[in-house]
Amino acid sequence: MADVAQTAAAHRGQFLAQVVANRPLCRDHYLLTLQLAWFPPTHPGQFVQVACDGVSGEASAVEVDWPEGSLPRLSGQEIRKAVPLIRRPFSLAGRRDTARGVELDIIHRVVGIGTAWLAQRSCGDEVNLLGPLGNHFVPPPDGGIAVLVGGGVGIPPMIYLASRLAGTRAVVFSGATTRDLLPLTLTADAPVPTSASVEPLYNVDEFARHGIPAVISTDDGSYGFGGLITDALALYLDRYFADAPARQRVTIYTCGPEAMMKRVVEMAGQRGMESQVSVERAMACGMGTCQSCCIRVRKPDAAQPPLAGSDWCYRLACTDGPVFRGADLLW
């Protein structure tokens, strides 16, 4: 997946986008659609870094007294209001190439100052983006079966991936703690799943429009399977992919809370299935400079650098990832 990251780096840039929609999807989650005259090619799994303090940077400008020949005089009180000084990373949730240019979708959950700023953007506002960043999911081989597993803010990249899997054999698992925190459109006339069912249904618009069925779970049982998404996934895999030849055709794609992803990788390994994981480690620069997003991965050859003699090394989630082979991750 390294060559993919290099290609992304060659195309990435800073862009000024215009907000064309920013509508609430459920409690705390918004679907932000940005219009650009042009944006480099993108793939599911890639992300953008969004400047959440206004494109002019005025919100973070502070004037200090700096006499010539001495250090600036700082009282420690210059920044009175918390300001999101660094960009915030968001996975792409969709892309449409139209006659007017490119539309990018971002689904964001309000958790702090940056996402609160984003939630207040209205049509016509400008948003500064850096991207596209990182590598991306690799589609399953011909005749393969894709199982997409997204939890919480890991659901958005699965929506983009599903749009590229139309016409192939795929199924989506989406989990949230409760129905109010599910950033998906449940179709009104579709059958409502029972709390013990793991039968995929065409009841989620974002996936059904691409011919892909879904299993929804909520931890509190307020919609769909009642319990953890990983429990629903285990039941499904053992019911529908019981034999080894069927299992070998499955690739599991996952993004969400780290505990969920670890369990998904473990389950894939136990069943002889491939897995690809998008690790949304906390990031600062998003471009391989600050080293804040390190993750431990298995090395193919222990004798080779980095860390010659060791069977693992650190990789950067922002440039070597965010997508890694599940079997390579040591977390």
Ligand X SMILES: Cc1cc2nc3c(=O)[nH]c(=O)nc-3n(C[C@H](O)[C@H](O)[C@H](O)COP(=O)(O)OP(=O)(O)OC[C@H]3O[C@@H](n4cnc5c(N)ncnc54)[C@H](O)[C@@H]3O)c2cc1C
Binding site for ligand FES (CB under 6 A): 283-286, 288-293, 316, 318
- In whole angstroms, how close is the CB of 104 to ligand X at the nearest point? 12
Q: Is 136 in the site for ligand X (CB under 6 A)?
A: no
State the number of binding residues for ligand X (CB under 6 A).
21
Q: Is 280 in the site for ligand X (CB under 6 A)?
A: yes
Residue 326 interaction partner, one of ligand FES, ligand X, none, beta carbon < 5-8 Å per kind: none
Q: Judged by CB, which is closer to ligand X: 112, or 269? A: 112
Residue 112 interaction partner, one of ligand FES, ligand X, none, beta carbon < 5-8 Å per kind: ligand X
Q: Is 183 in the site for ligand X (CB under 6 A)?
A: no
Q: Is 160 in the site for ligand X (CB under 6 A)?
A: no
> Which of 71-79, 170-178, 237-245, 280-288 is the region at the interface with ligand X (rule: CB under 6 A)?
280-288
Pick out residues in 110-129 that bind ligand X (CB under 6 A): 111-115
Q: Is 91 in the site for ligand X (CB under 6 A)?
A: yes
Q: Taking the alpha carbons of 282, 148, 10, 51 in that order, is the dihedral positive or negative?
A: negative
Q: Tell me which residues touch ligand X (CB under 6 A).
A: 47, 84, 88-91, 107-109, 111-115, 153, 156, 280-283, 322
